[in-house]
Structure 1
Amino acid sequence: MSQTELSNVDLYLQRLGFDSPPPPTLESLRELQSRHTCVFPFETLSTMLRLPVPIDLASVERKILYAGRGGYCYELNNMFLALLLHLGFEARGITGRVVMGGPEDALVARTHRLCLVTVSGVRYIADVGFGGMVPTAPLRLDTEEEQPTGHEPYRIVHQDSSYILRAKVAGEWRPMYVFDLQMQSDIDYQIGNWYVCTHPQSPFMGQLMVARTGEGLRRTLNNGSYAVHRTGLESVRRQITAVDELIELLEREFEIRVPHHPEFRQVVGQVIAPQPML
């Protein structure tokens, strides 16, 4: 079986709420992306435990469809692209540099994977693996106009040979990531993923980051800080201080089946412990 083929498309579509394969239309793409970010959470439990993260399609399917887990961009967007291709979409993977929270001209590593999809001759980016700020609708590439989604509005700005994705947060346009349309091969994703899940300077190493969308809301967990962001309302935040409380939160709000790992509780206790003041 090639790396672009899914072993159980029916189960994948059932998890997304489809009784039959949808046609390769823009409406279907919107529905697929919206449902995907609601059903399959972004999560870094493996890198929190400092475990390797295999990104071949068979491993990703086992983890997300059968083991009750989520994943990050190299997993979620890999599986999503395979589904789009199976449904007959014209699509391929591309990569970008995450600049959220920093200067948008920073030449950081290419550590984000997303999808380029062409529907009726119009190009869109589709992304189901960008954590707490994942776009919940496909975004048209060749326009700089503001584009609404079920959550924040986004816009794509073309600069030289690259594009900058920005999101409107609290009335301010903030950069998310910079990307281009360069062709990517499996080794490009493997190198980026290797950095994300093994390099000591990776922001994911030893950290717990979880995100899931809902209708008009986003749930995020950063180590012990849990927040619910509702469109047009103040965010509600609380600090998780107990291991059992965090595990219950992962299972109830994010529908994640926590892994059976001998050090899981110990590591969770470390990531939710108050950090010393510098």
Structure 2
Amino acid sequence: MNTTTSQETEAIRATTEIDLDAYLQRIGYTGERTPTLETLRSIQRLHVETFPFENLNPLLGIPVLLDIDALQRKMIYGGRGGYCFEQNRLLSFVLKALGFRVRGLAARVLWNVPEGETKPITHQVLRVEVGDESYLVDVGFGGLSPTGPLRLALHTVQTTPHEPFRLIELDDELVIQAYVKEEWKSLYRLTLREFRLPDYQMFSWYLCTYPGSYFTSSLAVARTIPDRRYGLRNTLLTIHHLGGASEQRELTSVAEFRTVLKDIFQIQLPEAPNLDPTLQRLIDEAAAAKITA
């Protein structure tokens, strides 16, 4: 009689499909390979430092593939980052291979969304069990990706290597908030219902093909290091210093764009024929917007 549970089956599959050694080498992790909170904290912090959030694929019309082989080719071996479905799905394989129990969740984004407006489900989050405690782990929310796991506990301020976070309850859902500029800002809302690969493939396809999707027309890049967060929205580069001021500058040439993407965000740029024309379009649109403002 086969008594293997679905969680155990997924862990076995993850162990055989993920190149764990290559991933850990890529992020520079040399600690214990055990499913402890210390391991989880270290890997989450190193992941967001290593893999930039970036949407170059949908912006350039390149398919976003969520199978583990494609994710490894792109992110582990290819020097690229990705957006939430790529980032958190890759991490889920890593954590399962290390012995963690992981479930996929999904969320509606609230960040920069007018109050009362409802957005579709377009974000992936992980629920990770460590002993008897449950944590939310998210390495794919761009410029405000939590740099540490968040215990599944309401109305408790939780410190991370960067901003404090908390979970509150709203209409039978959980809302994740970050403390930014002395104010609690809502990032997204979710339930604890489990989602699977076909769900994420559908959500991701929507983001890559819907005419009104930000990711198909605009550039969003982010990377976090110990003392700062970098963000790039189209041509505007922002550097948020931890506990200090922010600075901004406008990118005005394709050469400057390429240098910033490679040096600051550590992206090995895709060899796409429309990359430079797309970057130039963003520059031209920014210049035109200033003229009409």
TM class by smaller structure: over 0.9
Structure number with higher helix proportion: 2
CA deviation profile, 1:207-234 (whole Å, cap 9, x unmatched): 1111010012101111110011011211
Aligned residues: 278
Q: Does structure 2 conserve the Cα–Cα contact (< 8 Å) formed by 1:216 and 1:231? A: yes
Aligned-pair CA distance for 1:103:
4.1
Q: Does structure 1 conserve the Cα–Cα contact (< 8 Å) formed by 2:29 and 2:46? A: no
What are the ranges of 5 or more consecutive residues in structure 2 without an aligned counterpart? 1-9
Q: Does structure 2 conserve the Cα–Cα contact (< 8 Å) formed by 1:104 and 1:177? A: no
Secondary structure of 1:177's counterpart equals strand
Note if 1:228 corresponds to 2:239: yes
Note if 1:129 corresponds to 2:140: yes
Structural RMSD (CA): 1.7
Secondary structure of 2:129's counterpart equals strand
Please give the alpha-carbon distance, in whole angstroms, between the structure 2 residues aligned to 1:105 and 1:83. 37
Secondary structure of 2:62's counterpart equals coil
Q: Does structure 1 conserve the Cα–Cα contact (< 8 Å) formed by 2:220 and 2:233? A: yes
Q: Does structure 2 conserve the Cα–Cα contact (< 8 Å) formed by 1:13 and 1:21? A: no
Residue among 157, 177, 181 paired with 2:168: 157
Task: State the partner residue of 1:146.
Answer: 157
Q: TM-score normalized by structure 1?
A: 0.95
Greater Rg over alpha carbons, structure = 2
Q: Does structure 2 conserve the Cα–Cα contact (< 8 Å) formed by 1:41 and 1:254? A: yes
Identity of aligned residues (%): 38
Please give the alpha-carbon distance, in whole angstroms, between the structure 1 residues aligned to 2:215 and 2:108. 15
- The amino acid across from 2:102 in the alignment is A
Secondary structure of 2:218's counterpart equals coil
Aligned-pair CA distance for 1:105:
5.2
Task: State the partner residue of 1:9.
Answer: 20
Q: TM-score normalized by structure 2?
A: 0.91
Secondary structure of 2:265's counterpart equals coil
Q: Does structure 1 conserve the Cα–Cα contact (< 8 Å) formed by 2:18 and 2:94? A: no
Note if 1:260 corresponds to 2:271: yes
- The amino acid across from 1:154 in the alignment is F
Please give the alpha-carbon distance, in whole angstroms, between the structure 2 residues aligned to 1:146 and 1:272. 40
Secondary structure of 2:17's counterpart equals coil
Secondary structure of 1:132's counterpart equals helix
Please give the alpha-carbon distance, in whole angstroms, between the structure 2 residues aligned to 1:226 and 1:76. 22
Please give the alpha-carbon distance, in whole angstroms, between the structure 1 residues aligned to 2:135 and 2:117. 24
Please give the alpha-carbon distance, in whole angstroms, between the structure 1 residues aligned to 2:132 and 2:189. 23
Task: State the partner residue of 1:43.
Answer: 54
